Amino acid sequence: MKTTAEITSPYDLSFIKELPLISKNDIDKVLNTAHNLFTDQSNWIPAYKKIEILEKTASIMTDRIEDLLVTAISEGGKPWQDSKAEVLRAIKGVKLAAEHISQIKGEQIPMGLTDASLNRIAFTSKEPIGVVAAVSAFNHPLNLAVHQIVTAIAAGCPVIFKPATATPLSGFALADILKEAGLPTGWLQVILCDNETAELLVTDPRINFLSFIGSAKVGWYLKSKLSPGTRCALEHGGAAPVIVESDADFDEMIPSLVKGGFYHAGQVCVSVQRVYVNQEICDAFIEKFAAATKLLITGDPLDKKTDVGPLITPKEVDRVEEWVNEAIKKGATLITGGKRISATFFQPTVLFNPSEDSLVSTKEIFGPVVCIYPFIDRDEAIKRANALDVHFQAAVFTKNIDIALDTVKKLNATAVMVNDHTAFRVDWMPFGGRDSSGIGMGGISYAINEMTREKLMVIKSKFL
């Protein structure tokens, strides 16, 4: 049985660090620490103190942007320009959490509406839900940690954070900063462990809330095993569709869709994947999209000029290569790319009209591949876009407001971008999938609310 995790660079597979894995025997101590903190309300951190801690955390992070940036790039392989944006988003997320603490509040419930409810006043308040287990993904190692850790702290919950084994260093760096900022011992425990141990953790009855970011297979399995009463938020992937109408603005659209498709080598849960283009402009779209794709610079993620970095592991490159080859064998036209560059690099790839049963048409690619499909009837294209069981973010490009509104209404998605790519996100907006793509809602304030629960107080007095 493995007792350590070896962290390597996705860029060149060079060794970075070795970290210990905790065993099943260690889980009880971790859970007890968090559970005991929560059950004794004298330990709870006052709101003003939580604000102070998070404000100081944001300040320290700002002072250490370069260190956080290099750490995220080294372990995750996301190019410099995109990792810089992630670090800045993470800092903004901490600030948003601090600001939202003042908005954690209840409301008055009307009384006296019936004879039986006379002489009473009632109101709700919000309490922390309890111990949070947060299981994270590799693709945004710092920002995801903020969305799962800082939101729990803002809500008043002790949190046990399990980062992806491939990219744990950013989570540990955030934990060190929170400790420096004054977070009391035990309120955040960062652990690395194997899948069996992680399951033991999240299914324990001492866990009140599971925050999970990762594959649908694992997420829905864990949900089925949760202890009775444990609530959860699951964020899975999608296969984001885009509808492109004949009046779309090419100058705006092409750079946007290329960015949305190949950002972080397509390793984004809302990455542009399936683009349905009106037949009238399909040839021109393919020509311009392919030309822009060929200009992307693939290489060292620490180089500021790099557009597309590596995939997280060689195994992922193997999978993407297999899926692309399968699509071509089933009749897809390879427009550009399609080849492995190295152990962890795959060319930015554009496929035209893969069959509906190809893996690239039915599963989340999570790699640098975009598929283009022609359509004549928009309603038929929307039907094809909605055909899968994953529904997260989608997009439509048109200058006709009626077409935009009609498409937004008909697309099955939690968010539809109009004249923007599917991967657009800011950290104060709601973010999450529906159907197989997840349950619950992310976004800083939304996640904080998920980690609280209401308590009603009713006061009876003859003087009311």
- Asked if residue 304 and residue 450 are part of one domain, the reply reads no
- Asked if residue 254 and residue 392 are part of one domain, the reply reads yes
pLDDT at 112 over 80: yes
- Asked if residue 311 and residue 294 are part of one domain, the reply reads yes
**CATH no. for residue 63?**
3.40.605.10
Is 277 a domain residue?
yes
**Whole-number pLDDT of residue 226:** 97
Catalytic annotation, residues: 235, 269
Q: Is 417:392 a contact under the CB 8 Å cutoff? A: no
pTM > 0.85: yes or no: yes
Is 225 a domain residue?
yes
- Asked if residue 139 and residue 49 are part of one domain, the reply reads yes
315-349 pLDDT, tens digit per residue, is 999 999 999 999 999 999 999 999 999 999 999 99
Distance from C-alpha of 380 to C-alpha of 219, rounded to nearest angstrom:
31
225-273 pLDDT, tens digit per residue, is 999 999 999 999 999 999 999 999 999 999 999 999 999 999 999 999 9
- Asked if residue 277 and residue 176 are part of one domain, the reply reads no
Radius of gyration of the chain (CA): 24
Termini Cα distance of the chain: 66
Distance from C-alpha of 407 to C-alpha of 395, rounded to nearest angstrom:
9
**Whole-number pLDDT of residue 2:** 82
Q: For the chain, how many structural domains are there in total?
A: 2
**Whole-number pLDDT of residue 407:** 98
Mean pLDDT of the 216-229 span: 96
User: How wide is the angle at C-alpha 362 spanned by C-alphas 360 and 365, nearest 5°?
Assistant: 45
Q: Which of the four pLDDT bands, split at 50, 70 and 90, describes residue 305?
A: very high
Please name the residue that has the structure tokens 């652990």: 191
What does the mean pLDDT of the chain come to?
97
38-60 pLDDT, tens digit per residue, is 999 999 999 999 999 999 999 99
Q: Which residues of 239-250 are buried (b: 16+ CB within 10 A; e: fewer)?
A: bbbbbbbeebee
Mean pLDDT of the 194-221 span: 96
Mean pLDDT of the 76-85 span: 97
- Asked if residue 208 and residue 86 are part of one domain, the reply reads yes
Q: Treating both helix axes as pointing N-terminal to C-terminal, what angle do 195-202 and 216-225 enclose, rounded to 10 degrees?
A: 40
- Asked if residue 184 and residue 142 are part of one domain, the reply reads yes
**Whole-number pLDDT of residue 38:** 98
pLDDT at 124 over 90: yes
pLDDT at 1 over 80: no
Q: Which of the four pLDDT bands, split at 50, 70 and 90, describes residue 93?
A: very high
Is 424 a domain residue?
no
- Asked if residue 261 and residue 203 are part of one domain, the reply reads no
pLDDT at 376 over 80: yes
- Asked if residue 261 and residue 198 are part of one domain, the reply reads no
- Asked if residue 253 and residue 209 are part of one domain, the reply reads no
- Residue numbers of the domain that contains 143: 4-236+437-459
Is 99 a domain residue?
yes
- Asked if residue 46 and residue 163 are part of one domain, the reply reads yes
| Share above pLDDT 90 across residues of the chain, in percent, rounded to a whole number | 99
**Whole-number pLDDT of residue 336:** 98
**Whole-number pLDDT of residue 206:** 98
Is 257 a domain residue?
yes
